Structure 1
Amino acid sequence: MPVKIAGMIGTQMEGVAVHLIKGKISREWVIDFTRLHEQWDYDSVLVGYYASAAEGFAIALYAADHTERIKFLIAHRPGSVAPALAARQVATFDQLTQGRMSLHIIAGTTDQDQASEGDFLPKNDRYRRAGEYLNVMRRMWTSEAPFDHHGEFYRVAGAYSDIKPYQQPYPTLFFGGSSDGALQMGAEYCDVFAIFGEPLAETQDRINDFRRRTAKYGRKADFNMSLRPIMAPSEGEAWDKAHRLLADVERKTGAAPQPGNHSSERLLGFAARGDVHDERLWMGIARATGAPGNTSCLVGTPEQVAAAVLQYYRLGIHSFLLRGFENPHDTIAIGRDLIPLIRAGAAEIDRQVQAAE
C-alpha cells in the first residue's frame, strides 16, 4: 500500500519545541502551518489533545476551511463528552470536509491531566470505558434505526443520529498505548495502532503481538509510527545538531520527570540500554524529558534517515508521523528532503514484493 506521511500542527509558533499544541492561538499560524504541510506533500496532520489546550475539532475545522486536500488526525479523549454527542461531532466534521479526517483515541495521558478535566476514573477502567464509548459511537454511525445500550459506563435509550459520516462506514480509528487494557481496546475497536519509534527487533515483536490480538476478532491490524527526524547535509553535522537540541531541551526542562504511562516507560527502558539503537534511532531527548510523547529521533542525512524509516516500512508499518523540533524549518526540510525519498523507497519495496508473489 502507498506510504502515508503525517505531520503535526500547533496553535502558535515556537522555537525549539517538544510539544506543539500548548499555549494561545494564532489564527494566522494555524492557517500558514497547515498550508505548509499541504504544500510539502504531507498526507495529514495530527491535532493533539491536552486538558489545557485549544479544542481540536475547532482547530482542525478552521484549518480545513483554509486548505484544499490535507487531512486531519484529531486526537480525542473518551469520557470528556458523551459518546452520542461525539459521534455527531465526528460525522458532522467528516461531512463538512468530505472525508478529510481520522480519529486518534487517547484514553488518557496522566492521572493529573485527566483530573483537571474532572475525570478521576483509574487508567485500567478508562480503557474499558473507551471500548464501550467506541461501541456506542460506531453504532451511532451505522445504525439505521434507534437503539438502546445499557453498559458499565454508558446508557442510552432510542439513540440515533441523522448525520452519518462521509467515509463509510466511518473514519479510520487510531489508538496508542502499551498496557494490556490499551491493547485490548485497540484490538477490538480500532483500525490503526500508533506506536513510538522503538528498536527494530522490539518493533517486530509489537507488530506480531498486535496482529495476534486483532486476529482473535477477525480483524487485520495497520500501524503508524511517530518519529522525530534530525537531519543535516552530513552525518556529523546531524549528530552535532542533535546534541545542540538536547542541550536546549535540558536547559528548558531541567530534571526529567517520572514517566506517566507504559509507553513512556518503554522508551526510557530503551534509553537506559543506550542512547543509540540500530545506528540511527536516538533516545537522548526521551531520556532528558521522561519521554512524554513522541521523542524517538532518527539522526543522519536525509538519505540515511529515509533508509531507517524504510526498515520500519519493511516490517509492515505503512504510515509515519514525522515532525521536527524547530518549525517551520523542520517541516519544510522533512517535506523537501525526506518525504520524496521515503515515497520512492516505499514504492520500490512494494514493486519488489509484488514481483516476488
Structure 2
Amino acid sequence: MRNTFGNLFTLTSFGESHGTALGGVVDGMPAGVEIDLDFIQKELDRRRPGQSKLTTSRKESDKVELLSGVFEGKSTGAPIGFIVRNTNQHSKDYDNMCNLFRPSHADYTYFKKFGIRDYRGGGRSSARITVARCVGGALAKLALRRLGIEIKAYTSQVGHIKLAKDYRKYNLDFIEQTPVRCPDKEKATEMEALIDEVKTAGDTIGGVITGIIKGCPVGLGEPEFNKLHAQLGAAMLGINAAKGFEYGEGFDGVTARGSEQNDVMTESDNPTWLSNHSGGIQGGISNGQDIYFRVAFKPVATILQPQHTVDIDGKSITFKAQGRHDPCVLPRAVPIVEAMAAMVVLDNYLLNQAIKL
C-alpha cells in the first residue's frame, strides 16, 4: 500500500478514522523556512469537523503537534514529523455495519484486496485521513510564500447551484466569509439552503471546487510522463469523493475552434498573453500565467436512509447508517484541494531547481 506522496517534497501519512491518532512525516522541506504553527493550525481548522451546521457534528480540535525538523521556529531540512490525536470517536455507531458492505464505499474493495477491513468510519479509507494532507500542504504553502506563489480554492457549485466559471469575476478574499466557502454571497446562501435541505432528508449532495495558483514561475512540470496538469489531476483525484478534474477551459473548450482557443502572445521584450484558455499550462509545463482548475466531488456515500446491500456472506440485507456524517464534502474539501496543489507545485519547483544544477 503506497502511503507516500511526492518526489523531492514528500508526505508519508499514517492513521485511521477511529484510531488513536493520525499523522505523517514531511521530507524535503527546504531549510530555513519560518514555521508558523498558528498558520498550520488555521489550515487544519478549515478542514476540521463540527465547524458549522453544514458539516458533520463530530467534535475534534485537530490540534497538531510537530515532533521534529523545526528548531528556533525554522525548518532544519530534516524530516518534519507531526501528529494529530483523535479525541471524539464514536466507534459504536458502526457496530451495525461490521459485517456488511455499504453502497459506494470502499468496504467491499478493501475487504477483497486485503482480506480485512476497519469498519469504524471506514478506517484508512475515511476522509479523516486528509488531516495529514492539510499539514503537508500548510508546510508547502509556507515555503511557496517565500516565492510569491499563492494558492486559493473555493466552492463554485453545489448540486444545480453554480457560479460562473471565470474565477476573475469574484473577490477571492471573500471565500472564508461564508460557511460553504463560496465567494458569491447570494449563491452561497442558496448553496447552504440546499445542503440543509438534503441534510434534513438524510441525504447528501455533491458539487465542484475551483482552484487557482497565482505567481507560478515558467517551467514547472515535465513534457512527457510528468506533465504538471497530470500531476495536479492525480493529486486531486486522490482526494476522497473526487470524481473529475479539468483545467483551463476543460470540457467546455471542445466546442470552440482553434482560432478561438489559442492563447496569443504580444510582441515585446517581456511577452504577455492576451488570453489564458490553456489554464497556465502548455505542453505539460507552466507558462507563468494563473493555473486554474476544477474538481468534481460526488455526494457523500453515507446517507441516513434505509438502503439495500449484502453482507460478507453475500446475503441481502437492509440497513440504515448511524453516526455523524457530512451532507456535503465541499466546505471541508476546499483546504484539502489547496493543500494538494501546494505540495504538487513545491515538489515541481524543487525538481526544476535540481535539473538546473
Structure ranking higher on relative contact order (CA contacts 8 Å, 6+ apart)? 2
The TM-score normalised by the length of structure 2 is 0.28
Bigger-Rg structure (1/2):
2
